[in-house]
Amino acid sequence: MPEDPGLQGAHVELQDVSKSFGGARALEEVSLRIARGSIHALVGENGAGKSTLGKIISGVIAPDHGHLLISGQPARFHAPREALARGIVLIAQEMSIAPALTVAQNVFLGTEPRWNGFGGRATRRNGFLDRRELRRRYQKLAGDAGFELSGDAPAGRLRTADQQKVEILRALARDAELIVMDEPTAALSQPDVVRLHEVIRGLAAAGTTVVLVSHFLHEVLELADTVTVLRDGRVVRTAPAAGETEDTLLGAMLGRSLGATFPAKQFVTGDAPPVLSVTDLRAPGVNGVSLQVRAGEIVGMAGLVGAGRTELARALYRASRPTAGTVRVTGGSAPDAGHGPVSRWHPAALFRPPSPREALRDGVAMIPESRKEHGLLPGRSITENVSLASLAQVSRFGLVRRRAERHAVGQVLGQVAVRGPGQAAPAAALSGGNQQKLLFARVLLRQPRLLIADEPTRGVDVGAKRAIYDLLASLAAGGLGVLIISSDIEEILGLAHRTLVMRGGRIAAELSGDDMTEAAILGAAFGAAERGA
């Protein structure tokens, strides 16, 4: 490992780089050297400037002040294609998949093999797509990376985790000299994380420089040669990763000690009434699920990617149509909550069109897996994004009362501690963690009885994670039933009172108390008990 990035040949050097968005300063006189062939990690809270720094290196945005040097030569990129010409590729946190194209076409987009119709090769811009060569190249690339993903599958129909694999393969297909990876493992299951780590190590061993932006500090310490800590747009320090621990990184990132990762669990009484009762529910990807969530209880939903967790959440939120089973929601949106069952689905009613509006009316709210695809309207204001599901509360005679809307939104924004520009700014102006908090603010405005949170801390830094954990615990303490879907087993164990493990669209195990361990969850997820039977 490099002892000091300043002693190595610098692949990238930034000198006094600053960047502002409107009145908000994202980077303040950042100077940094990244050694060629190293794995250089950038860590910090959401809004610290990590992603902005990665986008400047990869040509997505230009700095307001300062200088960027590539291999010692001054560079000023005006578009990502100019960075690509210098061998620099970005794997962004927010994915840019062409949904109508296949996986293989997305991976080789812009570099597809072509032929001229007479058996000869054509230029990139002319000729017919050589599908046989495209398939061959894709199969070799995916095989080398260890990703089992069909190249002929429509990219728009893939799960978020598989779309992340497409982004990674696209970067690998460019034979880049430097790859900026912004949260590359946030959407991946543990087996895929292991494979990607092997890929990253192999790239560095072959001389490729990797700039890794990650909220997973154990991942940073496992992979990185060098770590740069950012706070409030400034570099706190750059040091060899071998000399760091999670605690030292946290202290530098936050400027304080974080304390315990998870809040203390509140005791849930055995006679607490159920807010959700599900019996033999069947829907796309769900094969006969029965479960119960009580008032004040946090129930964790674990399982591998494709186990049916998100499909179950969509069915409960009525975003997809169930085909059989009974779902009973007790209580409704405040102020009428707690007055008995307001919704009961039964076979005769299963043919109604799915309607999340009905779920919201009955007191069910949901944080979706992908805030970009299913959660936020990035071009609309912060106020509009938060009030979107509660317009009736701030309207009169069909017209939105703007003053009442701003007041209501301001109150819930304060509860979730969103940091950034004012309410009139677009949601896209916020960092990933603050965008995630907007979804929680929207939920708080509805005052639901049941919250379904699908990967609630994906792409969120450790400080914001703790804030979200505290919020979930306080909501549960106030009587809310919470169903959390997470690929982070530590998160499940730290928050949940009970854990349900899904496999093949069914509940494979229900764990609580001392039985709720990482080994038990993984065993049920992989079907170890079934194989041992």
Three-state secondary structure call for residue 240 = strand
**For the domain 5-96+176-254, what is the CATH code?**
3.40.50.300
Three-state secondary structure call for residue 227 = strand
Q: Which of 191, 187, 149 is nearest to 166 (CA)?
A: 149
**pLDDT tops 60 at residue 54:** yes
> 399-458: per-residue pLDDT in tens?
878 888 888 888 888 877 777 778 888 888 887 778 888 888 888 888 889 999 998 888
CA distance linking residue 528 with residue 533, whole number of Å: 9
**pLDDT tops 80 at residue 299:** yes
Using 50, 70 and 90 to split pLDDT, how confident is the model at 95? confident
> 189-219: per-residue pLDDT in tens?
777 788 888 888 988 998 889 999 988 888 9
Does this model's pTM top 0.85? no
Contact 483/301 with Cβ under 8 angstroms? yes
More confident residue, 6 or 231: 231
Q: What does the domain layout of the chain look like in residue ranges?
A: 5-96+176-254, 98-157, 274-363+448-532, 375-428+437-442
**pLDDT tops 90 at residue 228:** yes
Strand partners, 364: 450
Choose the weakest-confidence range: 103-112, 340-349, 365-374, 501-510: 340-349
260-263: which pairs have CB atoms within 8 A and are 24 or more residues apart?
Answer: 261/462, 261/465, 261/466, 261/469, 261/490, 261/494, 262/466, 262/469, 262/494, 262/495, 263/469, 263/470, 263/473
CA distance linking residue 156 with residue 365, whole number of Å: 25
Consecutive H or E run containing 1: none
pLDDT of residue 191: 79
More confident residue, 229 or 113: 229
Choose the weakest-confidence range: 229-238, 254-263, 473-482, 484-493: 254-263
Percent of the chain surpassing pLDDT 70: 89
- Which amino acid would we find at residue 187? A
User: In this structure, are strands 65-70 and 10-21 parallel, antiparallel, or unpaired?
Assistant: antiparallel
Do the domains 5-96+176-254 and 274-363+448-532 sit in the same CATH topology, yes or no?
Answer: yes
Average pLDDT, the chain: 83
pLDDT of residue 116: 60
pLDDT of residue 35: 94
In 36-104, at which residue ranges do the beta strands (DSSP E only) sit?
39-43, 65-70, 73-75, 88-91
Q: Which of 471, 8, 26 is nearest to 233 (CA)?
A: 26
CA distance linking residue 401 with residue 38, whole number of Å: 55
**pLDDT tops 50 at residue 123:** no
Q: What is the mean pLDDT of residues 6-27?
A: 81
Three-state secondary structure call for residue 337 = coil
Answer whether CATH 3.40.1800.10 is correct for domain 274-363+448-532. no
- Which amino acid would we find at residue 401? R
More confident residue, 357 or 140: 140
Between the two ends of the chain, the Cα-to-Cα distance in Å is 46
Q: Which of 93, 309, 75, 63 is nearest to 213 (CA)?
A: 93
CA distance linking residue 59 with residue 77, whole number of Å: 5
CA distance linking residue 404 with residue 122, whole number of Å: 62
Contact 2/226 with Cβ under 8 angstroms? yes
Question: Based on C-alpha coordinates, what's the Rg of the chain?
Answer: 24
> 493-519: per-residue pLDDT in tens?
999 999 999 988 999 999 999 999 988
pLDDT of residue 258: 53
The total of other beta-carbon atoms located within 10 Å of residue 528's CB is: 14
What would the two tokens of residue 462 be?
A: 């450790």
